[in-house]
Structure 1
């Protein structure tokens, strides 16, 4: 059987490594990084040979889109993580991405841990530095292209490349400055969450005990994003703030990495009324796979089955035209990163008792592994080519066509 290492939708990759145009030790401090490929035992979701042929055809012919990833590579020694983050320089896993089958990646950077000048993240100067360094690195290679218009998404597939969409999980860094949204758009950001887990000037995050909804400034910010062509996201917003954002936005809103609270009663998951409201406005809900997120009572140990249970529940609730995937993975030990950052990233407040801790999510461990296995699962469970085409890309494209500048 063809394995994930041999997918037909491989990209034109020339061996480039991040920042090879600079000199290690002179221009930056060098760290030993985690493995991009085979950090854990490779896993292919089991399918028949005939099904694998269908999988490979889909990967080759359709647009494969992940609505939420962190494509950076962590240090191998996570005791160095805070020092590493203070350097303000992140490496991208280009080699692994060349084998991922992905055509479009929404890169959400790591600005909750942008700690160049602060221990708290989300500071304006740190975020600008982080985005600028990553785009500088991207500008020195050819496989990944900075995507700013719909045409870039199609061009990437045609040229055997990957479209890299700039995204941020929160508007916290704009503080009370609307024009900062224009600045972020100008440097390439195309989707933003209104709030991360803690409250900001726009509204309340999911960890807050009281959610007062979208603020007056938050409504102004949502309208400005509509005008600019920035897709509005509510993945980390509180329930009332989420509903207010959907109502305020003149365009569809996304939930680009979450799951269904009806399956797992965690604040990190979305309740049915928010999922329905998002879909009713024309939006899309992308299912996430970050460790210990999309768990279910049936599958309390996080795996691809629990992840797809959230997908099927959401699809049955809102319709197949409004679901997609945003795995929210990275290159490195994601579980230990969460343990390290539990307080800073509000992870503990979003979890509940009853889950079984795993070392990693088998089959969905990093951005290069997820989509071949997602497509295998869909094919093996009898989904039609048309429905698979929708959930792995076309539903997202539809929303972008309604929210981006034409």
Structure 2
């Protein structure tokens, strides 16, 4: 049972590592003249002005006690290697979480560009706000995803310091040029309904990663909320084939256990669990069982470790911090092999727990975050992994202080994801 009942939602809420590539030495970072999203428009005139959270604000008190040599090593690892977040939401949340729906209705979500450029990232898999329906409670429909993608592309197209990654070369080139690559992704494919060719349309818009199912089941398969798990549907199998043919990375982070098993078996290319953890470490439906994690690795796939508040908690660290997340990391490395583990923190800029409260009617994640009577502490943020800016530097520092080699750190910070993309993207 949770120790704090003030907010019930918050409570429920190997193959050898590939031979070293030549180091990619990045050019000096691009110097954009304006870090604000939609700078070509007038905020408050062309679209509603909702007060946004300060992306530089920090509540996190986590500090690594690094020596000068260790700090220099962290700097070098981030500077010399491709660093990839396998799943994040690099957008800024409203200062008042309950302005979330009016903010989304305005269709101009702001991205924390300045903060992202300070994160050490080369590429971020951008999950958008892709599940918060503003007209219905069931999440995005077809018009929603097309509009969101078009608006996102319009914003990114007006910047010289970012690129939309459609092939591996775009990520490698972003590292060399000191720019930031955005990989457009979705957390569900429910909005394609029964129209297979809509996957091709999304690919044309630049989508290179797709989740099949969120918590609710859809035409492709069962979600995590289901008590009777029917797995992948026949239409879902056709969708998997089409994604394989196009070169889209398939994600099963929110799929049911049987759907995960079916997708891994059906896919002709490796799949990803872009943001999750190990159920053996924290027993909720949101985490993945051992057999799914092992099957993902055996087929060449990769797991991205989740860090959204009240997800990857552990028995050893029931107050959700970076230490809880790394309990999942060490377990996954032992089970899957270090060449199949990465990080998909799943973070926003702003009050993430407030976001969960404000969106509870749309996401309906209560049941899948219930740890079955285990006690844990409600938190306002995950200390050490509050947002994307601090997360990868702290992760790199944690790995340095815990004895991981440069080649191992290079692999989990981005190399493992790059390997999978080289096999999946056409």
**Deviating more after overlay: 64-73 vs 9-18:** 9-18
The corresponding residue for 2:154 is 136
Q: 1:38 aligns with which of 35, 53, 57?
A: 57
C-alpha displacement of 1:293? 0.6
1:114–1:130 Cα contact (<8 Å) kept: no
Is the counterpart of residue 246 in structure 1 residue 267 in structure 2? no
Bigger relative contact order, structure 1 or 2 (CA pairs below 8 A, ≥6 apart): 2
Structural mapping, 1:125-274, within 5 Å: 125-274=143-292
**Number of residue pairs matched?**
397
Q: 2:127 aligns with which of 84, 98, 108?
A: 108
Q: 2:403 aligns with which of 376, 382, 393?
A: 382
**Deviations 1:345-396, CA, capped at 9 Å, x for gaps:** 1321122242210111111011111000000000000000011111111110
C-alpha displacement of 1:10? 7.9
> What SS does the corresponding residue of 1:106 show, helix, strand or coil?
strand
The corresponding residue for 1:87 is 106
Is the counterpart of residue 289 in structure 1 residue 310 in structure 2? no
Question: CA–CA distance in 2 between the matches of 1:199 and 1:299?
Answer: 32
The corresponding residue for 1:3 is none
Distance 1:143 1:70, change over 3 A: same
Distance 1:248 1:390, change over 3 A: same
C-alpha displacement of 1:13? 3.6
Structure 2 gaps, min length 5: 1-25
Is the counterpart of residue 373 in structure 1 residue 394 in structure 2? yes
Distance 1:91 1:81, change over 3 A: same
The corresponding residue for 2:415 is 394
1:11–1:99 Cα contact (<8 Å) kept: no
C-alpha displacement of 1:120? 2.8
> What SS does the corresponding residue of 1:50 show, helix, strand or coil?
helix
Question: CA–CA distance in 2 between the matches of 1:90 and 1:401?
Answer: 31
C-alpha displacement of 1:25? 2.4
Is the counterpart of residue 122 in structure 1 residue 140 in structure 2? yes
**Deviations 1:232-286, CA, capped at 9 Å, x for gaps:** 1110000001000000001101100000000100000000000000001100011
Structure 1 gaps, min length 5: 1-7
**Deviations 1:194-230, CA, capped at 9 Å, x for gaps:** 1011100000011111110100000000000000010
2:28–2:177 Cα contact (<8 Å) kept: no
TM-score under structure 1 length normalisation = 0.95
C-alpha displacement of 1:41? 4.7
